[in-house]
Chain A
Amino acid sequence: MKKINKITIIASLLIIGFSSCTSWTEIKPEGLLLEDEAVTSGQDVVRIVNSTYDALANRLNGTAQIYNDLLGDELADFNINGDRKEMYTRGVIPFNSSSNDNFKGIYRCIFRANTCLDYIQKYDNDSFFNKSILEGEIKFIRALSHFEIAKLYAHPKGTSPLVDANGTQLGIPIRKIVTIAPVLRSTINGTYEAIENDLLDAIALLPIAHPLNTVKKAHADKNAAKALLAKVYFQSNQYQKAIDVLNDLLSNSSLVLSDSLNHFDNKSFNNEYLFQFVSTGTGDNRASGYTGNYRSDNVAIPNMQISSLAYNYMIQDTTDKRINLIKVINKGKPDEVYGSAKYNYDYFDVPYLLLTDMYLMRAEALAITNQNLSTAASDVNKIINRSYNNATSKILSGSELAEVIKFRVREERRREFLLEGDRIQTFKRIGANGEIQTPNTMRNAAFNCNGLIFSYPQTEVTIGFSQNPLQTCN
């Protein structure tokens, strides 16, 4: 009996001891996609490239542009609260969740782009995709993303002694590989060199016509890379380089200006777009940053309004047809306010690289460098012709002085890109170029005021990382 008992006990303990298997814990959550399932072919790499456009479209849907506008002088101080108030008062602290979301969101594009670079090597022999095109697109996206961060988180590159003319001032973290390790800020020269190198690679790798750009310029092609490189050179006060690229682009391109005065008028094909973020419907509106804040047709008062300063500037010349893109609400009453009529669509594409911008950039760059002024005047005239009721009286002659052209082109730029995130960057660029502007401040801020660049998210500030100093300038 005792033997039986012992056998019973031992057998029972053995059953308990070996009744299960550690492999049972090798489970993964339902719906969770792991690497070995997510990326198994070149087709999946293409999907990751698509996701970089997706992520970028979700930041440049007006959101990032509005953050630039908040720093400038084109917005009224109405309904600007919380995080946006910090931007408006040029005092973005390291805990501003809106700016931090934007920062992370744009770097997310870079993370995805760098992830692709790893896989492109892995699936080198995959016949599904064209390695050159994909690598070109990735470099383009990475450059664009770094560029947008540089505009908001670093003082402009330039020759003014008020910025570091040697370009050793702090730029942004440049990320070229996937890593969780911190990366310190490059110099502003290093920043723009990295962007430039990516774009030069992109130009070399991308085709003139991207096979998927049958209707819209949703994917980067060679001209888009050139246009972006020109914009990067222009913004960093490298005007000769900008001119060279623009000459190449504008002479070889078959692009023509749109008849529409509204850059966001793209219900039908807009033939002056070089690169755009595409919306496919109300449920896929990649312009929600704009429509949610600037739209003026479906609300009594737009959430964000044009400042009196900007409005008064526009109506100085009543022949400017672009005034029609401003909606005056409660006209003549004490509570008269101004909204933009550019964004009054349920959904639309957001153009990122525009032929209008290319002409204005070349004209200004030529005027600044005082060369080929007839081309500069011709470029400006293209915009003038489109924009005024009595355009002929405003046309610049081929013999205009550089200063006249420069003044005029900047005026057209200001009128053309009202509430498109351009104004503050133009102000900073010109300041960094050592030019005295009239007035030399924008809403009381000098171009190099620290308040015009955002604080980095506090969690970015690891050992050795230099935070932007907090300084308000109003």
Chain B
Amino acid sequence: MKSRLLLTLVGICLSASIFAQSIKGRVEDEKKLPIVGATVMIEGTKKGTFTNESGVFEIKDVVTGKYKLKISSLGSNTSYKEIEVTSNGAFINIILKEDQKKLDEVVVVGYGVQRKREITGAVAQISGKALNDMPVPSFESALQGKLAGVNVTTGSGLAGSGAVVRIRGIASIGAGGDPLYVIDGIPITQDYFLNGNSGGMNNNPLASINPNDIETIDVLKDAGASAIYGSRGANGVILITTKRGKKGLNKSPSINFTSTFGTSQPTALPNMLNTQQYLQLRQEAWENDGGTGHVWLPGYSSSQSSEAARAAAYNKASQNNTDWVKLTTRVGIKQNYDLSISDAYKKLNYYAGVSYSNNESYLVGNSYNRLAGRLNLDFNISKKLKISTNSSLSQGNNYRVNSAWAGGLGAAMSTALPIYPTRVGGANGDSTYFRNGDNPLIAQEQKIWRVGETRAINNIAIDYNPIKNLYFRGQGGYDYMQLYDDQFNSTKLLNIADSIGGNAYRVGTTTKNLNYFITGTYNYNPNDNNKFSFMLGNEFQKSTASVVTQRTEKTTGTFYDKTPDTLYQDQVAPGNAWAFLSYFSRINYSYKEKYFAQVILRADWSSRFGENNRVAFMPAVSAGWVLSEENFLRNNKSISYLKLRASAGRSGNSNINGNARFLTYNTNGNYNGLPITYPTQAANPDLRWETSFIWDAGVELGLFNDRIFTTVDYFDRRVSDVIIEGLAISPSTGMDNYTANVGKITNRGLEFGIKTRNLTGKFKWNTNFNITKIWNSIDDIGAYSQDAVGGGTNDTRPIIGSPIGTNYLVRFSHIDQQTGLPVYLDVNGNATSKWDIANRMGVGSVLPDASGGMTNTFSYKGFDLSVLLNFVLGGNIYESSAKRQLGVVTDWNMRTDLFDRWQKPGDNAQYARLTLNEANYGSNTVWINTTQFLHDATFARLRNITLAYNLQPNAIKKLKKVRSVRLAIIATNIFTLTKYSGLDPEIARDFENATDRNMSPNITYLTPPQERTYSFQINVGF
């Protein structure tokens, strides 16, 4: 028995030495770079494998003989290679050429994927790699200028600030105008106002998303694509797919490490006056007004002070010359480290990543650090069953500082005068802070402010294929976000005795976002020409948020530093809660792989809708025709691809406060020790979603084997039931908020994108250009006045026939050369010296006429260079703070622009005669908003340059275990072409609410400029 067993084992070993050969090889692209995930199959068999991160593959257990290998990869032409396997095995190097047509690339379309060829809606895709080519405050900023129809305005230079993303313009006023963000199937929490507007900044709910985790981003733009998201799809949908496990090298996992180190500086600095200049101009204003002697000075004297007092104050003030801009800014240091590992086995694929970044902005004390981890797993239980999990956990800490109107650099640009010292008193003159005027240094040094965010987005999905052509997917997700806004105010900030102690605040906001969906898809192919796909789905999502405000006194640190002994306030504020229940269906039909049609139906029930309007029904139809597959074009030498597509349907926007429909009460507080209860807002049982009827027609054209590939789309969106949130019903109602469906809006546009491969030899040059033109107008705002609807906190108003965000200002005409005083225009165009709000008119628009971007990439051997230029054409910037910096002389510092001012009769000056009295400017307020500060918003910006070197294979061979090395130098916001005289023409100021965000993006009010960064990056693959 034993001998037979031994013989058998010997036989097996011998057999193995004869038959168990391997085919090994490497698959590369034309640039000699490895192709990851390429499929290598032995033709006519089921034997095959995938290439790993180094492009290497191995097919084991192959008997000797001749074979034909089939090598395919997304984005490349399929290749066939003959190979002979000897007793030593076989090795082959394969170069795959880039697929010219890319028709079979897979695009995520919501609850599934489709081949590009099949898509009948307007969908754009960008790889995660393209997002990580430059440091940005938040990943969405990196979309800027890269996709047609996707307009991105980076928030500001503040660390972690969010961008305003608009897909095909904006067609909402009070409802959120942002696209729906969906990560791995979960519509995530994306409320920009969870933490209100504090310190001149809104919390950015996307800041904690690690851009290194992103594999692809797909953007659904028209009803043919977005209607599958029903009443939430009208603003477009951004679908984010995170990375998954791929086969590693030589049975070892693929490891990738990236480190980036850089600096942050402002793109521009304000040109504020120094003490000598300030005193000179203020004195001039005083004398212009008929004053004699010394001018009175804020913080030192008053207009009623005697000349002796004014003179003493003047002399004292002139001894200081504080450069507050310098004191509140710096060169920030940025660093980012990202490590990932992935591998794929027969039963398990995994991707794991961890990253740490610490991004300082150029504002002293301001930084955002993030520690993030991800684990994505795929369990291939059987051929019919697969379970996938996505898990991410991140901790973001935003060390905040006051900015804009709240202080910091904003104060340096306004109320912190150069005549104010930083400190006064004491033997050395430095013992206490100066407090008779604004001193931003106090908060900068004495306030600790951290907004910490813990975010976990997790989901589990089950894919089951019980019978041929029938597929089910069930997915459950949980997006947990906990935000702690912690502030500590020291005794020196509060200006109280140390023995009393400081105070600390904590506002904790916890958002729990639960989601599941089930889809069933049946593919019915009666014959080779006719193919159907039926998908039916059900989804439920519920999000709850709770807000707890705590305050303690007599303390020495924040809540996270020191657990308070006593809470002086521990209050639960109403959170935001909402739920959506949806049923949806998508039916696709294709004929001969060249005619495609799609029908989408979706019904949404939502807690956000009033009791009289509980369900939104959103249907859409779309069709596509690949003309280049027709006989009359198939062999055309010029046209390699031509597709026409069109869609029409309804899509909705229900991005409204979940509480808006209720009559609500509050019981917070007490009076004279007695409990109180009070109503806070009126109910609106008729509240409903905004309905957009959208149609789109597009052409996709590839020429010369797709060396030139263009896409053109025309779209038309008509919105009814436009939501006005916080509708300004008469304040005398005593009610705070009222949200109602009021208006109508039309938003039309044309978008054009072109990709060209200009040079394809050793030296390669590709260009990617896109531009989008939008026509936008408000058609109706019901019976409400422009002021009742409002423009958020800025001087924009909804004006019938004009675009959303129309500047509503008194028109400035000129400076009278004889008097030096401003001349305005009344509503009839007649000159007047009186500034009267009755003369306000729609005079500009914060929306650009067109925007886009151009990316040029060059590569030669191991070098590649990428240059991104983005641009905005037309539209206006309103420099809202300029009226105080360049207007009536007040307690604000002014800008050197005022050197071009009227001083004597006959002067042809840009700015008026200086005065301390607003009445001289025909006004009873210093807040004189006129077109004098309305500027052309056109600009072009060199957004990004990345110069990289990829170590060549020969060099890499010398590095053990290393498969790739990439070194890059990255610069952002290098220079800007603009006529705008302010700081930075790319503006997204802090917003008070959705209306503000929709209506006033291009209005600046002491808004910190964008940052300019220089970085060095190294990427090593193992």
Which of chain A's residues has its CB closest to B539's CB? Answer: A20
Q: Are A20 and B675 in contact (CB under 8 A)?
A: no
Write out the residue numbers on chain B whose beta carbons fall within 8 Å of the beta carbon of A31.
Answer: 546-547, 572-575
Shortest CB-to-CB span from B617 to chain A, Å, is 13
Q: Are B672 and A108 in contact (CB under 8 A)?
A: no
Shortest CB-to-CB span from B424 to chain A, Å, is 10
Query: C-beta contact mask, B503-532 vs A, less than 8 Å → 1, else 0?
Result: 000000000000000111010000000000
Query: C-beta contact mask, B875-893 vs A, less than 8 Å → 1, else 0?
Result: 0000000000000001100
Stretch binding the partner chain, chosen from A8-16, A231-239, A250-258: A8-16
Q: Are A300 and B301 in contact (CB under 8 A)?
A: no
Write out the residue numbers on chain B whose beta carbons fall within 8 Å of the beta carbon of A301.
Answer: 436
Alpha-carbon gap, A334 to B837, bound state (A): 41
Write out the residue numbers on chain B whose beta carbons fall within 8 Å of the beta carbon of A212.
Answer: 674
Shortest CB-to-CB span from A312 to chain B, Å, is 11
A442 within 8 Å of B (CB atoms): no
Alpha-carbon gap, A337 to B472, bound state (A): 81
Alpha-carbon gap, A9 to B519, bound state (A): 12
Query: C-beta contact mask, B450-484 vs A, less than 8 Å → 1, else 0?
Result: 00000000000000001100101000000000000
- Find B675's partner among A25, A50, A93, A95 (CB 8 Å cutoff): A50
Within 8 A of A (CB), among B838-880: none
Q: Are A76 and B574 in contact (CB under 8 A)?
A: no
Q: Are B673 and A280 in contact (CB under 8 A)?
A: yes
A160 within 8 Å of B (CB atoms): no
Query: C-beta contact mask, A4-46 vs B, less than 8 Å → 1, else 0?
Result: 1100110011011101111011111111111101110000100
Chain A CB within 10 Å — which of B568, B576, B606, B730 has the most?
B730
A320 within 8 Å of B (CB atoms): no
Chain B CB within 10 Å — which of A47, A55, A183, A457 has the most?
A47
Stretch binding the partner chain, chosen from A174-182, A357-365, A427-435: A174-182
B169 within 8 Å of A (CB atoms): no
Alpha-carbon gap, A470 to B606, bound state (A): 47
Q: Are B581 and A459 in contact (CB under 8 A)?
A: no
A110 within 8 Å of B (CB atoms): yes
Q: Are B538 and A20 in contact (CB under 8 A)?
A: yes
A136 within 8 Å of B (CB atoms): no
Alpha-carbon gap, A94 to B783, bound state (A): 20
Which of chain B's residues has its CB closest to A21's CB? Answer: B581
Known: A29-B574, A33-B574, A33-B664. A470 touches B836 (CB 8 A): yes
Q: Are B538 and A112 in contact (CB under 8 A)?
A: no
Write out the residue numbers on chain B whose beta carbons fall within 8 Å of the beta carbon of A92.
Answer: 924
Q: Are A78 and B785 in contact (CB under 8 A)?
A: no
Query: C-beta contact mask, B536-578 vs A, less than 8 Å → 1, else 0?
Result: 1110101011110000000000000000000010001111111
Count of A-B residue pairs with CB < 8 Å: 269
Known: A78-B302, A85-B926, A180-B738. A16 touches B538 (CB 8 A): yes
Within 8 A of B (CB), among A197-215: 212
B918 within 8 Å of A (CB atoms): yes
Q: Are A335 and B309 in contact (CB under 8 A)?
A: yes
Within 8 A of A (CB), among B752-790: 783, 785, 787-788, 790
Write out the residue numbers on chain B whose beta carbons fall within 8 Å of the beta carbon of A13.
Answer: 520, 536
Alpha-carbon gap, A180 to B673, bound state (A): 31
A218 within 8 Å of B (CB atoms): yes
B693 within 8 Å of A (CB atoms): no
Write out the residue numbers on chain A whose beta carbons fall within 8 Å of the beta carbon of B890.
Answer: 81
Shortest CB-to-CB span from A437 to chain B, Å, is 22
Alpha-carbon gap, A16 to B891, bound state (A): 66
Write out the residue numbers on chain B whose beta carbons fall within 8 Å of the beta carbon of A374.
Answer: none
B306 within 8 Å of A (CB atoms): yes
Q: Are A29 and B732 in contact (CB under 8 A)?
A: no
Alpha-carbon gap, A115 to B732, bound state (A): 14
Chain B contact residues (Cβ within 8 angstroms of A): what range? 35 or more
- Find A22's partner among B578, B605, B664, B926 (CB 8 Å cutoff): B605
B659 within 8 Å of A (CB atoms): yes
- Find B664's partner among A32, A107, A308 (CB 8 Å cutoff): A32
Known: A24-B540, A90-B924. A50 touches B577 (CB 8 A): no
Stretch binding the partner chain, chosen from B12-20, B390-398, B677-685: B677-685
Alpha-carbon gap, A212 to B675, bound state (A): 13
B446 within 8 Å of A (CB atoms): no
Known: A47-B676, A48-B677, A300-B436. A283 touches B467 (CB 8 A): no
Q: Are A33 and B665 in contact (CB under 8 A)?
A: yes
Q: Are A458 and B787 in contact (CB under 8 A)?
A: yes
Write out the residue numbers on chain A whose beta carbons fall within 8 Å of the beta carbon of B579.
Answer: 24-25, 27
Write out the residue numbers on chain B whose beta carbons fall within 8 Å of the beta carbon of A472.
Answer: 919, 924
Shortest CB-to-CB span from A355 to chain B, Å, is 21
Q: Are B304 and A29 in contact (CB under 8 A)?
A: no
A65 within 8 Å of B (CB atoms): no
Q: Are B670 and A93 in contact (CB under 8 A)?
A: no
Query: C-beta contact mask, B337-365 vs A, less than 8 Å → 1, else 0?
Result: 00000000000000000000000000000
A156 within 8 Å of B (CB atoms): no
Q: Are A30 and B540 in contact (CB under 8 A)?
A: no
Shortest CB-to-CB span from B278 to chain A, Å, is 17
Which of chain B's residues has its CB closest to A93's CB? Answer: B925
Shortest CB-to-CB span from A433 to chain B, Å, is 28
Query: C-beta contact mask, A94-127 vs B, less than 8 Å → 1, else 0?
Result: 1110001001100111111001000000000000
Write out the residue numbers on chain A whose beta carbons fall within 8 Å of the beta carbon of B614.
Answer: 22, 25
Write out the residue numbers on chain A whose beta carbons fall within 8 Å of the beta carbon of B536.
Answer: 13, 16-17
Write out the residue numbers on chain B whose beta carbons fall within 8 Å of the beta carbon of A411.
Answer: none
Shortest CB-to-CB span from A472 to chain B, Å, is 4
Alpha-carbon gap, A39 to B680, bound state (A): 13
Query: C-beta contact mask, A270-296 vs B, less than 8 Å → 1, else 0?
Result: 000000001010011000000000000
A54 within 8 Å of B (CB atoms): yes
- Find B472's partner among A12, A24, A32 (CB 8 Å cutoff): A12
B819 within 8 Å of A (CB atoms): no
Q: Are A462 and B730 in contact (CB under 8 A)?
A: yes
A159 within 8 Å of B (CB atoms): no
Alpha-carbon gap, A92 to B520, bound state (A): 64
Within 8 A of A (CB), among B924-942: 924-927
Write out the residue numbers on chain A whose beta carbons fall within 8 Å of the beta carbon of B783.
Answer: 463
Query: C-beta contact mask, B298-321 vs A, less than 8 Å → 1, else 0?
Result: 101111111011111100000000
Write out the residue numbers on chain B whose beta carbons fall within 8 Å of the beta carbon of A78.
Answer: 302, 304
- Find B671's partner among A22, A57, A180 (CB 8 Å cutoff): A57
Query: C-beta contact mask, B598-609 vs A, less than 8 Å → 1, else 0?
Result: 000000011100
Which of chain A's residues has its CB closest to B522's CB? Answer: A9
A425 within 8 Å of B (CB atoms): no
Alpha-carbon gap, A307 to B677, bound state (A): 42
Q: Are A173 and B732 in contact (CB under 8 A)?
A: yes
Within 8 A of A (CB), among B261-314: 298, 300-306, 308-313
Q: Are B581 and A34 in contact (CB under 8 A)?
A: no
Q: Are B672 and A278 in contact (CB under 8 A)?
A: yes
Shortest CB-to-CB span from B431 to chain A, Å, is 14
Write out the residue numbers on chain B whose beta carbons fall within 8 Å of the beta carbon of A451.
Answer: 924
A339 within 8 Å of B (CB atoms): no
Shortest CB-to-CB span from A86 to chain B, Å, is 5
Which of chain B's residues has its CB closest to A215's CB? Answer: B672
Known: A183-B732, A462-B730, A474-B919. A93 touches B672 (CB 8 A): no
Closest 6 CB pairs of A and B: A91-B924, A111-B734, A334-B309, A38-B665, A459-B728, A29-B577
Beyond known contacts A51-B676, A107-B733: 15 more, CB 8 A cutoff? A8-B467, A29-B545, A29-B578, A32-B574, A38-B665, A48-B677, A50-B676, A91-B918, A112-B734, A173-B732, A284-B670, A459-B729, A459-B785, A463-B785, A474-B919
Q: Spell out B's residues near A (CB within 8 Å).
A: 298, 300-306, 308-313, 435-436, 466-467, 470, 472, 518-520, 522, 536-538, 540, 542, 544-547, 568, 572-581, 583, 605-607, 614-615, 658-659, 662-667, 669-679, 682, 728-735, 738, 783, 785, 787-788, 790, 836-837, 890-891, 918-919, 923-927
Question: Can you report 18 A-B residue pairs in the complex whose CB atoms are below 8 A from each other?
Answer: A12-B472, A17-B536, A20-B540, A20-B581, A30-B572, A30-B577, A31-B547, A48-B676, A50-B677, A93-B924, A104-B731, A112-B679, A180-B733, A300-B435, A308-B304, A336-B309, A460-B731, A461-B785
